[in-house]
Structure 1
Amino acid sequence: MMVNQLPIPSYLVDKLRGIGVEALYPPQAEAVSKGLLDGRNLLVATPTASGKTLLAALAASKHLDRGGRVVYLSPLRAITSEKKQFFEELFGDRYKVAAVSRDYDQPEEWLRGYDIVVSTNEKMDSMLRHSASWVKSTSLVVVDEVHMLAAEERGSTLEVLITRLLTELPNAQFLLLSATIRNVEDLAEYTGADIVSSSWRPVPLREAVYQQDRDELFFSDGSSERLPRLSSDPVKNLVLNIVSIGGQVLVFASSRRAAEGIADDLASALRVVGGEAAQLSALAETVYDGGDCSTRLARYIRRGTAFHHAGLYPHQRKAVEDAFRAGLLKAIVATPTLAAGVNLPARAVIIPDVKRGGEDMSVMEYKQLCGRAGRPGFDKEGLAVIIAKNSRQRNEMMRRYVHGQLEPIVSRLSDQRRLRFHTLGLVSSGFSDHNELVAFFEKTLASRQDSGLMEKVDSALSYLEAAKFIKHDGGGWRATRLGKRVADLYIDPLSARIILSRLEDVEKAGPKADDVALLTICSTPDIELLSHIQPALDWFRDYGDFDGPAIAKASVLKAWVEEMGESTIESRFGAAPGDIYVLSESGSWIAQAASELAAMVGRRQASKTFLVLSERIKHGVREELLPLCSLPGIGRVRARALWNAGIRRVEDLRRISTEHLAKIIGQSTATRVLEVVRER
């Protein structure tokens, strides 16, 4: 089926041709034949790179031409940026495109002026809690990566979000995009969608097990191939063989340490030729920031490889991804989050180890990793390899993974902690009548899989009532003023209870109030546990009623707000820059929420402590630098440099020349800062 035969606007046909799309792939053609352009709800379950995003664009064009609004939901911020760029390329000269994430305490009413809204699942769920009025005019909802319903932490949010949108937008079209899944019929029944399911790929995939004691690849079709032995190490041997014939490789390691170790091995084996050396050296400079992690990354990049994990800053990860897409890097060694995060195909995917935190990876995860093999337009076929030590292990890997059956998608909504979170969100949004709540939960996937779901909902309601977040009157359930604020702040009800129980301790702590406040927010389930972080027990020896994980997280944040250098934080606590980034982002958010809750219950002193702490965590500075950090381009390092130069207040900058300021913070930043100061 050719794109110029489709009933879509001519401008879109021209745009698609401009990016090389002349004809539809078979699954795309099937989606069109099943009513994609006629407003039918569809569940499209096909492999990676089979063109699912293009289906969203085709459907979007029909809705936009009729004055509708399109909402595109994705699980990760990295994907929202990628999809925003995609839609802007196709529709940006006619329609307005926005991407939103984080900042869960806003309805974002400004989005009423946008035609295409790309949002993370959590952000969209939070906007529904705030009763964002612009949502009602949505006529197309696209849900990307809908198989993430099975994700342990985030799947329940996606399920509640889909169920709410189906309930509140009964006339909208829903396009659900998924990897190949086992129980596709269950999801189709849950969403009321017709099924488009296919194993077709634009680049054929060959799956194999590499038996390292024979240097031999055993393929899923029963054939085998001996490889030249270019290294005794199995990963190095595979990578060198693939790179030698012009391919690029993604290696998926089981941990950050393993990823960096493999990258180190590859850096010693790969050879950089010609003009690549200068380009790689320039790339290395862009990711280097003086820290230990970036030092290692820059060293490996100069040899044509890199690691990629959550310990890196987002801009460092993006630099690695862009260089790989450009063919500059020959191999990336990544933790599995890369497979879910961005579109980054390679000639070959190598999986050295199936262990994930002591447990074997699922078949679904294995297939997702394999799906990155094969670059459309570049490779005739993709190769996915799992490594086995001997024939016994090879047979087991072949049986369990290569020929294994996908696990069914199982709802995560029945988990009591997640159920309390979402039940409060529903009650605070107006689901007050008990029968109304029952009717809502009966529409979920969980109700089809867990016969005891409603008993768990009743238990969640009892918990929330005991916490004084909701109350029951003659008309049904309603959120208290406090409960409504907890729901709008988008924090776990347990986090709120922990914070409220510690407010008096914060106010009685005197000069140690910041320490108690830090430990309080780090005790909440909303701040992610990073198991590899080491605590500074000597800093918090007087606080024995806080557990080890809370002390570990608080140690990193205390070092951060006391302006300890990132390389020192990494060497002392094991927290890489990316860890600091994640902890500071969530820590600032929860501290801000704690400030608001404290104010609501009349704890003004605690409220101020948490508010200042939130800003300090956001910027990574002592309190005296906060006014300077409000200026554009002034972070923790430049703010301290200004302070040390005698510039203590924003007003001090009015008496300084651009030349003088440039010597402290650089010419471009100095010019920008003084422009802002003079406008105030």
Structure 2
Amino acid sequence: MPVSEVLPGFAGAFPFERFNAMQSEALPALLDSEDNVVVSAPTASGKTAIAEVAICRTLDADGTALFLAPLRALTNEKEREWERFEDLGYSVYVVTGERDLNPRRAERADILVMTPEKADSATRKHDTRRYSFIEDVDCCVIDEVHLLDSDRRGSVLEVTISRLRRLCDPRVVALSATMPNVDDVAAWLDAPEETTFAFGEEYRPVPLEADVATYSHGENAFADKYRRLYRALDLTEQHIRDEGQALVFVSSRQDTVQAAKTTRDELTERDIPIGARGDYDFHNDAADLQNDTLRQSVLDGVGFHHAGLAREDKNRVEEWFREGKIQILFSTSTLAWGVNLPARCVVIRDTKLHDPLEGEVDMSPLDVLQMLGRAGRPGYDDRGYAWVVCDRSDADRYRALLKDGKTIESRLAETPNEASDPVATDLAVHLNAEIALGTVGDVEDAMDWLETTFYYVRAQRASDYVAGDALRERVSDTLQWLVDREFVEMDGLSVEPTALGRLASSFYLRLETARRFADLTDREDFSELDVLRAVASTTEFQSVSARSDEEEAVAAVLGDAAADLEAGPRKVLAILRAGMNGTTPSALKSDAWIIRQNALRLLAALRAVVDRFGTPEQANLVCRVEARVDHGISDDAVGLTAIDGVGATRVGKLAAAGFRTPADLVEAGTDRLAAAGLGEGAAERVVEHARELPAIDVDWGGFPETVGRGERALHEVTVRTTAGSARAGLRVTVNGREMTRKDSYLGETTLPVAVFGGDDADLEFSVHVTFPDLPLPPVVHSRSVRVVE
């Protein structure tokens, strides 16, 4: 069907002129109905256009569309692709955790693009001005809804859609690769039979032949990796010789590069002709690539693609692969979910991958099917060929996957492998979140909420499902678990969140972690190392593993410290400890970034928990540790990070120039800061922001210099800021013993101080001012009083 006839006002939004057979069959459900729609269809059959049709219908009715993309990298890709909508006068706004949210842009956007995790965050905070835009969504398109079955992300997608439907009841259009139980998803979303589609393999543009290939083990994992590579090349060689193309998926960015290097030599050894070698213009174009290894590789018809490449390099690789100049391309799994880049032959070389947080894990069955679905180039190939290279022990499992597909299950109530408590599931996490939001106020509310989930649909299908009793018991057990660990308070059948429950929900903490953080505040005193240990020992890092070469680097950083920790948490601790000083051993760098980013989120949560249940001094210590991990700065200069606009680069320059505190910068002035490497404008702003931070003055008033033994007098001490204001914890000690404690928002406040002539000959009175929200070291002002006879 011609696009110009179906959607005359939106023809420019589509990169083709006619809808294909699959798309045309779904058009009446999308355009002539208000019902929710579920479409299951083979990979590369054109599901993206169905999403775009749903969006066009929403825009035509002056509504707002939300597109949920499975990966953050794909949200950026949609932003580029959908400049077509911008050209038609509509605004597209991407909301991700890596960008600062502009609430006004989000509110005015016609098309919002988010990941499930960011949508989860937005729906939890829908009643704030910052995220109120989420309540205006009229249509929600779920791309790759079969990710409901994803171990770590499925439950987030599930509860987010359920919450969104309660908030604003948008029309839902769910798209999926082929799945056996599409009717279950339709039942969950209340999509009627006439708007539920299960398109079979006959709708695949190019028929697919998929099979399993095994390999013989070598002496070690390194040798196995190369045996799998040579097996993959054996499978692709015939197609490359026949001027076809091959796409080989490997487990990591580094592996894409190493595999490409080895393959260049192997193609020469096997005397496989590569057309690109004699293309003079291609040689000139390749000279513009930023990546040196890629520049050399593509000239031999071999490319690699991963998220770490510059965008321009990735765009060129994709273009050259489509043009046939690159004949074999090595990639990570991201390419399977995003770019429509088919090949005649697809090989999955690695079915296991290293996850910095989980260690070695099996590739998701959903990822496997998504990758294999890239085989076959419409318009070029009569047939696509796909292979899974695996160990013989896994062969039957993958053959069954290829034959029967993957039934989509809910992960909401699945017990994690590492959980010691069978009730400690995602169900507890998300039920706690709903209680914190006020959605669930009693057991009946909890059951009503559960009935909105995909888990409820799948539970009804289970052979052991008995009325509602089993689910009610599961909910009751989960609620009691939350009560026992002080996330929830229960009065009869009514439930209310505790402060800990709210914090766990707000920071998306695993509940065991939130409980452990709260318990830390029971300690009278804890150190910088204790803070780092608390984070490194969390459930979030429980599955981190350490290789032998990494253990040596860990020992070099930590020495004998924390020797009682397991190797994985000890590795996390070493990365954080080294990062605080701005150095990371080379053996630990591959996992350092992702571990540090997760640790910063946990440190922010720990600071909030400690601030709520502990002391200002404890919160300030966590705040300073967090700033050091983030910026890689010494403890004596960490206060510089409190200045707005001073990030890791600037704080490094300022510390190297000898500055240690915001007061140092104010005293130095803009000229000295400019000499330290800051631009003149930046220096002026830094000094201006430094002046806004609190500068403490203590007025001792009529405080005496002496006191008679046995005498007692009450005096007042005034604490004020001569510059900015901030929340502070105030303490008065005498000879190290605490006398008075007060929390205040400075300004100015007075503290009563009793002076008593006791047995000591001299009394040292100290006023301690601590900022729980700022990484400024505590300020201490002291006054001595001599006891006289």
Q: Is the TM-score greater than 0.5?
A: yes
How far apart, CA to CA, are the structure 2 residues paired with 1:644 and 1:656?
13
Report the secondary structure of 2:138's partner residue.
strand
Deviates more, 1:256-265 or 1:89-98: 256-265
How far apart, CA to CA, are the structure 2 residues paired with 1:107 and 1:441?
33
- Residue 613 of structure 1: aligned partner: 625
Residues 209, 387 of structure 1: 8 Å contact kept:
no
Report the secondary structure of 2:79's partner residue.
helix
Query: What TM-score results when the alignment is normalised by the length of structure 2?
Result: 0.70
Report the secondary structure of 1:611's partner residue.
helix
- Residue 207 of structure 1: aligned partner: 209
Which one of the candidate residues 262, 266, 272 is aligned to 1:265? 262
How far apart, CA to CA, are the structure 1 residues paired with 2:297 and 2:13?
39
- Residue 99 of structure 1: aligned partner: 94
1:82 aligns with 2:88: no
Residues 435, 496 of structure 2: 8 Å contact kept:
yes
- Residue 372 of structure 1: aligned partner: 374
Equivalence map 1:315-394=2 (5 Å): 315-316=308-309, 318=311, 321-327=314-320, 330-340=327-337, 342-352=339-349, 354=351, 364-376=366-378, 381-387=383-389
The amino acid that maps onto 1:508 is D
The change in CA–CA distance for 1:400 and 1:493 in structure 2 (over 3 A counts) is closer
Residue-by-residue CA offset, 1:484-511 (whole Å, 9 max, x unaligned): 2221222222211121222355x734xx
- Residue 497 of structure 1: aligned partner: 515
Residues 665, 687 of structure 2: 8 Å contact kept:
no
The change in CA–CA distance for 1:130 and 1:277 in structure 2 (over 3 A counts) is same
- Residue 114 of structure 1: aligned partner: 109
The change in CA–CA distance for 1:22 and 1:232 in structure 2 (over 3 A counts) is closer
CA shift for structure 1 position 147: 0.2
Residues 211, 388 of structure 1: 8 Å contact kept:
yes
The amino acid that maps onto 1:326 is E
The amino acid that maps onto 1:584 is R
- Residue 28 of structure 2: aligned partner: 33
Report the secondary structure of 2:126's partner residue.
coil
Q: State the identity %.
A: 27
CA shift for structure 1 position 183: 0.9
How far apart, CA to CA, are the structure 1 residues paired with 2:348 and 2:156?
30
CA shift for structure 1 position 355: 5.6
The change in CA–CA distance for 1:109 and 1:411 in structure 2 (over 3 A counts) is farther
Residues 645, 686 of structure 2: 8 Å contact kept:
no
Aligned residues: 622
1:465 aligns with 2:464: no
1:456 aligns with 2:474: yes
The amino acid that maps onto 1:433 is D
The change in CA–CA distance for 1:518 and 1:210 in structure 2 (over 3 A counts) is closer
Which one of the candidate residues 44, 53, 59 is aligned to 1:49? 44
How far apart, CA to CA, are the structure 2 residues paired with 1:232 and 1:628?
47
The change in CA–CA distance for 1:315 and 1:544 in structure 2 (over 3 A counts) is closer
Which runs of no fewer than 5 residues in structure 2 stay unpaired? 216-227, 268-273, 355-359, 415-423, 460-464, 690-789
- Residue 597 of structure 1: aligned partner: 609
Q: Which has the larger radius of gyration?
A: 2
How far apart, CA to CA, are the structure 1 residues paired with 2:394 and 2:501?
55
CA shift for structure 1 position 448: 3.0
1:446 aligns with 2:455: yes
Report the secondary structure of 1:443's partner residue.
coil
Pick 1 or 2: higher relative contact order, CA cutoff 8 A, min separation 6: 1
The amino acid that maps onto 2:387 is V
- Residue 146 of structure 2: aligned partner: 147
- Residue 531 of structure 2: aligned partner: 517
Residues 209, 394 of structure 1: 8 Å contact kept:
no
CA shift for structure 1 position 76: 1.5
The amino acid that maps onto 2:616 is R
How far apart, CA to CA, are the structure 1 residues paired with 2:481 and 2:394?
50
CA shift for structure 1 position 37: 4.7
CA shift for structure 1 position 179: 0.7
Equivalence map 1:271-670=2 (5 Å): 273=277, 274-277=280-283, 279-280=285-286, 282-283=288-289, 286-287=290-291, 305=302, 314-316=307-309, 318=311, 321-327=314-320, 330-340=327-337, 342-352=339-349, 354=351, 364-376=366-378, 381-387=383-389, 400=400, 402=402, 404-415=403-414, 416-430=424-438, 431-450=440-459, 451=465, 452-473=470-491, 476-504=494-522, 508-509=525-526, 513-527=527-541, 529-532=543-546, 534-535=550-551, 536-537=554-555, 539=558, 541-544=560-563, 546-565=565-584, 569-571=585-587, 573=588, 575-576=589-590, 579-623=591-635, 624=637, 627=640, 635-636=648-649, 639-641=651-653, 643-645=655-657, 654-655=670-671, 670=679
How far apart, CA to CA, are the structure 2 residues paired with 1:63 and 1:359?
40
More strand, by proportion: 2
Which runs of no fewer than 5 residues in structure 1 stay unpaired? 214-230, 289-295
Report the secondary structure of 1:175's partner residue.
strand
The amino acid that maps onto 1:372 is R
Deviates more, 1:404-413 or 1:612-621: 612-621
Residue-by-residue CA offset, 1:468-525 (whole Å, 9 max, x unaligned): 22112367111123322221222222211121222355x734xxx3322122112223
CA shift for structure 1 position 590: 1.1
CA shift for structure 1 position 92: 5.6
How far apart, CA to CA, are the structure 1 residues paired with 2:530 and 2:437?
33
Equivalence map 1:145-184=2 (5 Å): 145-170=144-169, 172-184=170-182
- Residue 128 of structure 1: aligned partner: 123
The change in CA–CA distance for 1:545 and 1:424 in structure 2 (over 3 A counts) is farther
- Residue 216 of structure 1: aligned partner: none
The amino acid that maps onto 1:419 is L
Residue-by-residue CA offset, 1:66-111 (whole Å, 9 max, x unaligned): 2322111122211111223333422465233221123899995863
Residues 107, 126 of structure 1: 8 Å contact kept:
no
Report the secondary structure of 2:404's partner residue.
coil
Report the secondary structure of 2:540's partner residue.
coil
Report the secondary structure of 2:52's partner residue.
helix
CA shift for structure 1 position 555: 1.4
How far apart, CA to CA, are the structure 2 residues paired with 1:107 and 1:459?
41
Residues 281, 301 of structure 1: 8 Å contact kept:
no
Report the secondary structure of 1:71's partner residue.
strand
How far apart, CA to CA, are the structure 2 residues paired with 1:544 and 1:388?
37
Report the secondary structure of 1:414's partner residue.
coil
1:14 aligns with 2:12: yes
- Residue 56 of structure 2: aligned partner: 61
Residue-by-residue CA offset, 1:342-369 (whole Å, 9 max, x unaligned): 5443343112355668887676443211
CA shift for structure 1 position 321: 3.4
Residues 669, 687 of structure 2: 8 Å contact kept:
no
- Residue 223 of structure 1: aligned partner: none
The change in CA–CA distance for 1:399 and 1:152 in structure 2 (over 3 A counts) is closer
More helix, by proportion: 1
Report the secondary structure of 2:539's partner residue.
coil
Report the secondary structure of 1:38's partner residue.
coil
Equivalence map 1:184-263=2 (5 Å): 184-193=182-191, 194-198=195-199, 199-200=201-202, 203-209=205-211, 233-253=230-250, 259=256, 261-263=258-260
Residues 105, 488 of structure 1: 8 Å contact kept:
no
The amino acid that maps onto 1:383 is Y
Residue-by-residue CA offset, 1:381-423 (whole Å, 9 max, x unaligned): 543234589xx99996995455x11121111111232111101
- Residue 5 of structure 1: aligned partner: 5
How far apart, CA to CA, are the structure 2 residues paired with 1:374 and 1:103?
35
Residue-by-residue CA offset, 1:538-594 (whole Å, 9 max, x unaligned): 6163435543322111212222222115xxx332x3x41xx3222222111110111
RMSD across aligned positions (CA): 3.9
Residues 280, 302 of structure 1: 8 Å contact kept:
yes
Residues 546, 568 of structure 2: 8 Å contact kept:
no
- Residue 24 of structure 1: aligned partner: 19
